[in-house]
Structure 1
């Protein structure tokens, strides 16, 4: 059977033309005649609308973030589930949590249709498999302590919808992030529907929808980690200094909070086994690493409960 014959007998896919993310953008009808500067100015103008669209959903984003905080406090996980660009953004956000917040690598997980290979090579056909994520989710042994966020710009991706529905059946708290208005499915606890509108390049949801998704995931993971005590004031005090850039940043954080010189801060960091939070507690309380570990654990990770809140931009 020829490829042409196989294609002619393939089932007709659902019509997605009603979705805002699939509709043509009236402002970009002449995109191919605008020239480079005009094209880029239009893209920039369209991108400028995204922050407001995300803000319109801030209540729902906060609702899901609070659920994530509760899950992580209970020893559970945050799991992102997506295909294509949506999946890649989920994996990206998950991978940034350990170096930024010293979270365990398995605490925030990104799952993408097609697996790690799909991070570099397109595997769009995998997104049509409604049961495609089931085995990977089953292997994670999901429970009521976990929070799962499905990411689907158009809100129709079978891989994502089927995966989140399956996660709900296993007891997980569930959310769905879309970039077009849809009705909230029965298996979805929180719907985040950001109206990004038609793309400059029709249907290319890696653009505005991707930007809105990245902003939202930044908010969820950062808000959750701040809620867990991973920051002190606006500083990432759970940072572990594993390279020169992070050692420099860690030393500067210690200097701000402890009013120590740069050299003193590096010495503290060395004594604290490259943990900024431990270095601060050790210095402020005049204790060793093991006792600092106990104090941090007893405070639930919140540095302000140990040394007090930072006020007026200076040391506490």
Structure 2
């Protein structure tokens, strides 16, 4: 195997002593290559089982960030994820999945990967080390009031540093999601979320526990954001985009689960409502026709400030119940 580094490339000796648990050797997997398949899987899954607890310990700052992001989106601003490598790819995955689930778009949550979209499939050499590129991206895509969230497993990625520093200099709220409790970039974030997952099973492979922890954090963050913005009724999706047969079936099932109506009635009302799950749900819960349901909903649009009913469904149903 040939050395992947060019002959004239300098060895970054300053990073040899990088202070990050993900770069330490895990004693639980020190003899990993000597184990059989079952032994390897047991070690890997045993270490993975510790990740949820590490994320739970950061519930406070995650919740704080939820409120900051909800306020920004409600004001017409955007939440931006920025990262490199595994961290950046997880950010992209979280952002794009919000569209079919919550009918969100890039004006609400956008993800930016060091090296550009092509880096999702193929690594772009040196992209994560370019702090100026991170800063330039913030200047290009962000406006006042946007939120900038950097993701860096090691807590030191220059691309993320440049982005966070540029955002803070412009007065934007900032956050960091890192798997290093001693992250260098913590001081560049208003809300640091530092996940103490310990050493990886394969030393330095942050696609493992660090990646899982970041994914769990993003799951909690973005889901709570979207629910606070009124995209669900209880735990049921009411802004789902029915873009395929499975999702069309899901919309009818949601109405059945929420209202107790039969699938036939739910389908009929959904069709009469022009495919709007919200209007159909209010109609089914109140017994009103879809026109009255739509009018009631117009008086109670989605609003995260409406405690206990950000979606407006309960309020619209209650208002219809008071009408003669």
Using the size of structure 1 for normalisation, the TM-score is 0.89
1:246-275 residue CA offsets vs partner (Å, 9 max, x unmatched): 111110111122332212212222233323
SS at match of 1:161: helix
SS at match of 2:8: helix
Find the counterpart in structure 1 of residue 113 from structure 2.
112
Rounded to whole Å, the distance in 2 between the matches of 1:228 and 1:220 is 12
What is the total number of aligned residue pairs between the two structures? 304
Find the counterpart in structure 2 of residue 312 from structure 1.
none
Rounded to whole Å, the distance in 2 between the matches of 1:208 and 1:298 is 36
- The reply to whether residue 182 of structure 1 matches residue 186 of structure 2 is no
Find the counterpart in structure 2 of residue 294 from structure 1.
298
SS at match of 1:297: coil
Rounded to whole Å, the distance in 1 between the matches of 2:153 and 2:110 is 19
Rounded to whole Å, the distance in 1 between the matches of 2:70 and 2:6 is 52
Find the counterpart in structure 2 of residue 70 from structure 1.
71
SS at match of 1:6: coil
Structure 1 residue 11: Cα displacement = 5.6
- The reply to whether residue 80 of structure 1 matches residue 81 of structure 2 is yes
- The reply to whether residue 156 of structure 1 matches residue 166 of structure 2 is no
Find the counterpart in structure 1 of residue 321 from structure 2.
none
Find the counterpart in structure 1 of residue 168 from structure 2.
168
Describe the shift of the 1:243–1:305 C-alpha distance in structure 2 as closer, same or farther (beyond 3 A). Answer: same
Find the counterpart in structure 1 of residue 141 from structure 2.
140
Using the size of structure 2 for normalisation, the TM-score is 0.87
SS at match of 2:192: strand
CA RMSD, Structure 1 to Structure 2 (Å): 2.0
1:106-127 residue CA offsets vs partner (Å, 9 max, x unmatched): 2111110011111111125200
* Bigger shift: residues 266-275 or 196-205: 266-275
Describe the shift of the 1:124–1:218 C-alpha distance in structure 2 as closer, same or farther (beyond 3 A). Answer: farther
Describe the shift of the 1:4–1:255 C-alpha distance in structure 2 as closer, same or farther (beyond 3 A). Answer: closer
Describe the shift of the 1:16–1:224 C-alpha distance in structure 2 as closer, same or farther (beyond 3 A). Answer: farther
Q: 8 Å contact 2:232–2:311 — kept in the other structure?
A: no
- 1:251-290 equivalences under 5 Å are 251-283=252-284, 284=286, 285-288=288-291
Structure 1 residue 4: Cα displacement = 5.1
Unaligned runs of 5+ in 1: 309-316
Unaligned runs of 5+ in 2: 304-309, 319-324
Describe the shift of the 1:185–1:50 C-alpha distance in structure 2 as closer, same or farther (beyond 3 A). Answer: closer
